[in-house]
Amino acid sequence: MNPFSLNSSSCAICSEVPYKFVELSKEKGFQLVFVNMPCDYTESNQSDGWVNDCEAMFNTVADLCQQENVPFLDLDDRMDEIGLDFAQDMNNAGHLNVWGAYKTSSYFGNYLNRNYTLPDRRSNTELAKRWNEDYSHSLAASVENGTAG
């Protein structure tokens, strides 16, 4: 059974995967932050949506985070701070377009910098090479699907 099926009674994303991330973070000793990217629940919950009840799915993750003392950043609650406008910044009900992704990524990056001590890895040439490769692939994909701008 597809765990994302509209007909499934539960969703693996809701029930199993977040718990596995929490356990892995404890086992490996890394800090974990769950993030809910902006989503139009009224549209995503329609018959062609990817899960039956998006809000319930994210509430399940939020509850887990509270139980396990893991930060949960719900960007739906911060849309004004981000400057996000669904009419301008969404590709569809559940996905940001390039402008929405830029705004949201900038906000999340600033959040991480304010709340965590992150090493500056920009001088790591091997990592920079991979970032540049990822950027090239992303740019090629955006040109291919007509979203480059």
Chain segment 16-51, per-residue pLDDT in tens: 888 999 999 999 999 999 998 887 766 544 545 555
Average pLDDT value for residue range 130-144: 86
All residues at 6 or more sequence positions from 49 whose CB lies less than 8 Å from its CB, including other chains? 6, 43, 93, 94
Query: Is the pLDDT confidence value at 92 over 70?
Result: yes
Model confidence, pTM: 0.71
The SS3 of residue 21 is helix
What is the rounded average pLDDT for all residues in the chain? Answer: 81
**Token pair recorded at residue 100:** 């929405």
Q: Are 82 and 103 in contact (CB under 8 A)?
A: yes
All residues at 6 or more sequence positions from 15 whose CB lies less than 8 Å from its CB, including other chains? 60
Chain segment 57-88, per-residue pLDDT in tens: 777 888 999 999 999 999 989 999 999 998 89
Q: Which of 61-65, 93-97, 117-121 has the lowest mean pLDDT?
A: 93-97
User: Which residue carries 């929490």 as its tokens?
Assistant: 22
Task: Using pLDDT thresholds of 50, 70 and 90, give the confidence band for residue 12.
Answer: low
